[in-house]
Amino acid sequence: MRRTFSAVMLFFLVFCSAQAQQKTFFITGRAQGTTYQIQYLADREVVRKSSIDSVMGVIDQSMSLYQPHSLISMFNRQYHHELEIDTHMANVLREAFQVYEKSNGLFDVTVKPLVDLWGFGSEGVQLFPPQATVDSVLSFVGMEKIWLEGNQLHKRDPRTAIDLNGIAQGYTVDVLSQWLDERIIDSYLVEVGGEIRTKGLKAEGKSYEIAIERPEGAQSSSFVLQLTDLAVTTSGNYRKVAYHEGKKVHHHIDPKSGFPLQNIVVSATIIAPTAMEADAYDNVFMALSPQAGIALANRLAGIEVYIIYEGHGAFHEAYSDGFLSFVKP
């Protein structure tokens, strides 16, 4: 027993010594309409910014709505009923179908026509739509109207269009993380547009620390997360805001009613094994009541959530059973 303990201590000291000799490298840039940053530990520089930009460019050509010749833009054109897609888009769609099922349809990538209708897409509108128009668009919204056969994506109605922005950025973080793994980098933090994934420990042997983005005026606790080999994302409804009939409307659209959600949840922070999972589920928790959101998180393996919500003129907080274990003391 004593010999085993000595061996473990020797390994720990050698490991820490090796980490102490490594340097921290930083890469920053702009892509996918936002910023990104990568920091990693290594003996020497092994990652070039041009390589990172190239990886992200490939994903843009797959799932960017702002690239007219991307695969998703081609599929969304009304003369397409089916399209051969790449592995990136297929991976994202398979995860999207799973989250759609687990969320009882709250996460639905076919909401793009509704997002455009309400003016939250790339082209804004000045007038909000009447009920009849919303109902008309709802007739070709729903993930039961699309399906995958291998890498062949099909749709039943040519007017159906998809928007993967609620999950693709998290997937980008995962792809970059895997790219670093393949270069035998054992410690890193990858962040794209606020979506984050970590691996290993920092140079001083501590976990990566992430402060939770919180809406202005929130009076809840100031949490700093300590994460190792996990991802975290935050979604909030306090940025993209418009007004409809005297009420605030937000960019999260209810795929069942066709109207923007009017929920008391202000923000949701998700901890998950992958950034793609966290990115997808933050949309789900924004759509649920705080009580329903916490109940769902407690049922989902590997998912933790921290929710800020409004009530009686003040901000309140709620969190899943395992969330506090990741909060810095």
CA distance 288 to 104: 11
For residues 114-151, one letter each, b for 16 or more C-beta atoms within 10 angstroms of the residue's C-beta and e for the rest, the string is bbbbbbbbeeeeeebbeeeebeebbebbbbebbeeeee
Q: For residue 220, what are the contacts with CB-CB under 8 A and spacing of at least 6?
A: 214, 308, 315, 316, 317
Give the chain's radius of gyration (CA, Å): 21
Q: CA 54: distance to chain centroid?
A: 21
Q: Which of 46, 51, 24 is nearest to 36 (CA)?
A: 51
Sorted by sequence, the CB contacts under 8 Å of residue 68 that are 6+ apart come out as: none
166 has binding-site annotation = yes
Q: Helical H runs in the chain?
A: 2-21, 49-63, 71-76, 87-102, 112-117, 131-138, 165-181, 275-287, 290-299
- Does 174 count as an annotated binding residue? no
Q: Cβ-count burial of 66 within 10 angstroms (0-12 exposed, 13-18 middle, 19+ buried)?
A: exposed
The DSSP letter of residue 129 is P
**Nearest CA to 128 among 32, 246, 277, 36?**
246
- DSSP 8-state assignment for residue 326: G
| Separation in Å, CA 23 to CA 133, 229, 322 | 58, 20, 33
Residue whose C-alpha is closest to residue 39's, from 248, 153, 243, 180: 180
How far is C-alpha 162 from the chain's CA centre? 16
Q: Could you give the 3-state DSSP secondary structure of residue 128?
A: coil
- Enumerate the known binding-site residues: 166, 279
- Enumerate the known binding-site residues for Mg(2+): 166, 279
